[in-house]
A = this chain, B = another copy of it.
Amino acid sequence: MDDKSEHLITEAALLAFCTQVLEKIGVPADDALLASKNLIEADLRGVHSHGVVRFPIYVKRILDGGTNPKAKVSVVRQTRTTAVVDGDNGLGHLVGIRAMELAIDKASDGDCAFVAVNNSNHFGTAAYYAEMAARKNMIGLSFTIGAINHMAPWGGAEAVLGNNPFAIAFPTREPFPIVLDMACSVAARGKIIVAAKEGKPIPGDWATGPDGLPTTDAVEALKGFVIPVGGPKGYALTLAVGLLSTMLSGAYFGRDVGDLYEKTTEAQNGGHLFGVLPVSSFDDLDAYLDRMDKGIGDIRGAKKAAGVERIYLPGEREYLSLVSHRKNGIPIGRALTEELRAIAQEYGVTFDLIS
């Protein structure tokens, strides 16, 4: 999205806009701020696919009754190291934060802890929650069921699986944690949409047509299914992430999973799983961090492939983007700008751009 035809907005202005709109449609002030911070961090990190581009659908779902603006997140069952959290059909960004906070709290005396969630919604980036734990010197794990089914089982031709994302974050002495955050398809469906609009073919390993066989025709691909990474490996991976995210809590899985964009009047009963491993229960924190320093040096110092300037750690590009966007503003495409401006006008809140 970093082309010259777009607008720029400050973090503060975007945060104020989102927070105020959420308040106007019934979200309590504290919750609105918390959810908006989470949402905007995706844009700061350059993960625009999970940032304010989704804001209009979150608003629509609240207006249509599909998401509860006044959710009371509660614990329905727990032991000292496990819990099931009911999100009361609230914004996933808020529910996820509350659940990960509970996991971190349960681990504060050195236990590992896992919290399963039901009655939630699309929660943005999985990395956000894993990084919450990493900032507390815990390895953080975050799993979610996708909010739309786009994938067929291996050998199948029916979308009964989501492209389920997960994240694992590690504390480091760098200014950012190392964080894996991935969904299980080779390419995001958004890239296929772009190719179809432009009338271009897609690589043969991105998608199948509706018959379940690989296609390079982007239009056929949109009627079909995204292909998982590594073929049957990615099928097993997305299935495992989906089961982790739903089976312990009773969130929807398989055919029960609705469509974030289509069924805006119905609760999604989304599921997540959050886990934390406190480093200092396993070894002295400094010993762990020394090892991380050495491992990071091995990765960064590896001989580079032809034409490569620098080897990045997972999460490093996102951190560099965050630093840059905090300083220079967050880029927003022209079409999205118009969409957000219309929302601002409707609710009488400000939406001030830098340029």
Residues of A bordering B, CB below 8 Å: 77, 79-82, 84, 110-114, 116, 139, 152-158, 160-161, 168, 170, 178, 180-182, 186, 205, 208, 211-213, 229-230, 232-237, 239-240, 243-244, 246-250, 253-255, 275, 277-279, 281-283, 287-288, 291-292, 294-295, 297-299, 302-306, 308, 310-314
Among A77, A232, A295, the most chain B Cβ lie within 10 Å of the Cβ of: A295
Q: Which residue of B lies closest to A232 (CB)?
A: B314
> Do B302 and A247 touch (CB < 8 A)?
no
Which residues does chain B contribute within 8 Å of A282, judged by CB atoms?
77, 82, 84, 116, 248-249
> Do B253 and A295 touch (CB < 8 A)?
yes
> Do A81 and B248 touch (CB < 8 A)?
no
Among A178, A180, A294, A308, the most chain B Cβ lie within 10 Å of the Cβ of: A180
> Do A81 and B81 touch (CB < 8 A)?
yes
Q: A168-B240, A230-B234 are in contact. Are A80 and B299 (CB under 8 A)?
A: no
Inter-chain CA distance A233–B183, complex, in Å, is 9
Which residues does chain B contribute within 8 Å of A306, judged by CB atoms?
157, 211-213
> Do A155 and B310 touch (CB < 8 A)?
yes
How many copies the complex holds: the figure is 2
Partner of A186, one of B230, B303, B312: B230
Inter-chain CA distance A212–B110, complex, in Å, is 42
Which residues does chain B contribute within 8 Å of A243, judged by CB atoms?
170, 178, 292, 295
Shortest distance from the beta carbon of A285 to any chain B beta carbon, whole Å: 11
Q: Given contacts A155-B310, A243-B295, A254-B299, could you give 11 more A-B pairs where the C-beta distance is less than 8 Å? A: A79-B281, A112-B113, A155-B311, A156-B299, A156-B311, A160-B302, A178-B239, A181-B236, A248-B282, A248-B288, A249-B283
Which residues does chain B contribute within 8 Å of A232, judged by CB atoms?
314
> Do A233 and B229 touch (CB < 8 A)?
yes
> Do A114 and B248 touch (CB < 8 A)?
no
Which residues does chain B contribute within 8 Å of A156, judged by CB atoms?
299, 302-305, 308, 311
Which residues does chain B contribute within 8 Å of A247, judged by CB atoms?
170, 288, 291-292, 295
Q: Which residue of B lies closest to A281 (CB)?
A: B82
> Do A152 and B302 touch (CB < 8 A)?
yes
> Do A236 and B182 touch (CB < 8 A)?
yes
Q: Which residue of B lies closest to A152 (CB)?
A: B302
Q: What are 12 A-B pairs with beta-carbon distances under 8 A?
A: A77-B283, A84-B283, A111-B111, A112-B275, A155-B311, A156-B302, A157-B304, A157-B305, A182-B236, A213-B305, A246-B295, A250-B287
Inter-chain CA distance A312–B232, complex, in Å, is 10
